[in-house]
Chain A
Amino acid sequence: MELWKEDFYSKNFAKDKRPDTIIVNMGPQHPATHGVLRVLTELHGEYVVRTECVPGYLHRMQEKMGEVKTYIQYYPNTARVDYTHALAWNWAYVGAVEKLLNLEVPEKAEYLRVITTELNRIASHLLWWGVYLMDLGAYTPVMYAFEDREILLDILQRITGSRLTYTYIRLGGVYQDVDSKFVEDVKKFCRRIKDRVEHYHEFVTENYIFKKRVEGVGIIEPEVIRKFGATGPVARGSGIDYDVRKAEPYGVYDKFDFKVAVEDGKDCMARYKVRLQEIVESAKIVEQAIEGLPEGDFKNKKTPKMVKPPKGESYFAVESARGKVGIYIVSDGGMNPYRIKLRSPTYSNLSLLDHISPGMLLADLVAVIGSLDLVIPEIDK
């Protein structure tokens, strides 16, 4: 028996197959899909005729869980949505609930949120950088990336208590105050990472083989970005100057001087350059925030122990390493949200793949999927 004939998605995809093509099923277990993403591809020789992404293998019913758990019980889940940039999701959720509660956040907490979230963004981009190059066949860079990332995770672990799925940003502030060792470590790291990014550029960006793999590959026109609602480095790689931190500032981001990294190349190389540039910009933000770190409380003392917001709705958007994260909560005045909707950036970013893939080489498809910086749990929710 041919198993694929039993599968709904294969059958549905094969309906429109041309007689001169073959269908190759990539994933859900495939090293280049970073998790369990399945991509059905119809190939004519080495060229892609069309693709269909089949997400959902990691579906954990995040939104349903939100409706049956209380506000506090649900909170740690947000770190598991995008595990490489957990603090951004922490912040989006906490921000939305704070808006409902009309809860103020002390200035020091806002600064600490910025510092930790930006450090987490650097860690996320470093992970992407190493793993993307591994997708393209270069094994060494991931060692360099992880060397830097380890330092960063150690710094964050001391203060947040975890290395990956953080729950540092809490309602009304943050989990705990920082000490002078943290400040010193972060300063040292920021100096280091700027040099390292230069080194990365010399080491990889100028590499001939790398350039051949990414330059002119996976062109995404700005119009396609807009139609599919893509955001983050994917949009900025196509010349769209849009960053929630600048466009709709939240927290204290309006106090810092930083550039939004934008590249006009529209290809994988442009998205690569945007992310490396963002590492440097994040380091600049962290340095300024450490410099201006105010005295005071790290948590609002009036934060309620039992969260029971009034009726109404709230929406809070932040910029994660992948784009615009939005959390929309409808409250009926009860202990748990009446409806919670997670707007995840990679979900929109990946949805354009089926649109741009026709005509691509299969090997380029891997390069393009990697350049979108997918985190599958965020897509599958």
Chain B
Amino acid sequence: MGVNLKEFPEGAFDKNYLTSSDDIKDVAKEFDSRGYFLEDITAVDFKEKFMLVYVFGHFKEHQTVSVRCFLDKENAVIDSISDIFGGALWKEREVYEFYGIEFKGHPNLIPLLLPADEDLGHPLLKGDKAKAVSEIYQSFKTGE
């Protein structure tokens, strides 16, 4: 593949890749051109970073692929892929309201499941209970 994708050894999906947060749009375009559908977008809160997980499925090749990238907490902004996959419109809004991650270029980034006129904060942030990435993924300890 012509885009920045590195194998991620500890993922649970059929194939697991790691990319940089700057390249997410190119990655989405690549998966779009190869006929994948967007199954899900989610995030996990770690002590030093957010891990964003994009899950793609395929109607014919029958495999589920995850692409993940790490995002700094101070400046949690990433490009929206909603212009490539319409399904990202809702999925990005959900990540935005639960984690406060901003999706640049999203046309309507307002809360989806939480009440919009009340400030409830971002409920899935771990705060003090957050663990380091290396505590869960061994490959980060060894620096692979």
Cβ contacts under 8 Å, A235 to chain B? 59
| Contact, CB under 8 Å: A247 / B62 | yes
The secondary structure that dominates the B interface is loop
Q: Does A171 contact B (CB under 8 A)?
A: no
| Contact, CB under 8 Å: A226 / B35 | yes
| Contact, CB under 8 Å: A338 / B87 | no
Q: Does A82 contact B (CB under 8 A)?
A: no
| Contact, CB under 8 Å: B114 / A56 | yes
A55 to B114, CA, bound (A): 9
Q: Nearest residue in B to A61 (C-beta to C-beta)? A: B123
A202 to B80, CA, bound (A): 49
| Contact, CB under 8 Å: A343 / B39 | yes
| Contact, CB under 8 Å: B116 / A326 | no
| Contact, CB under 8 Å: B136 / A311 | yes
Number of interface residues of B (CB under 8 A): 42
A330 to B85, CA, bound (A): 25
Cβ contacts under 8 Å, A56 to chain B? 111-115
| Contact, CB under 8 Å: A9 / B87 | no
Cβ contacts under 8 Å, A201 to chain B? none
A311-333 CB contacts (< 8 Å) to partner B: 311-315, 317, 324, 326, 328, 330-332
| Contact, CB under 8 Å: B136 / A351 | no
A339 to B115, CA, bound (A): 22
| Contact, CB under 8 Å: B136 / A227 | no
Pick the contact of B55 from A240, A247, A312, A343 — CB < 8 Å?
A343
Pick the contact of B62 from A228, A248, A311 — CB < 8 Å?
A248
Q: Does A185 contact B (CB under 8 A)?
A: no
A351 to B39, CA, bound (A): 12
| Contact, CB under 8 Å: A8 / B117 | yes
Using known A-B contacts A227-B87, A228-B87, determine if residue A240 contacts B38 with beta carbons closer than 8 Å: no
Cβ contacts under 8 Å, B124 to chain A? 63-64, 67, 339
Q: Does A242 contact B (CB under 8 A)?
A: yes
| Contact, CB under 8 Å: B136 / A326 | no
Question: What is the CB-to-nearest-CB distance from A232 to chain B, in angstroms, rounded to a whole number?
Answer: 12
Q: Nearest residue in A to B85 (C-beta to C-beta)? A: A227
Q: Nearest residue in B to A311 (C-beta to C-beta)? A: B136
| Contact, CB under 8 Å: B87 / A341 | no
Using known A-B contacts A227-B85, A229-B39, A332-B131, determine if residue A315 contacts B13 with beta carbons closer than 8 Å: yes
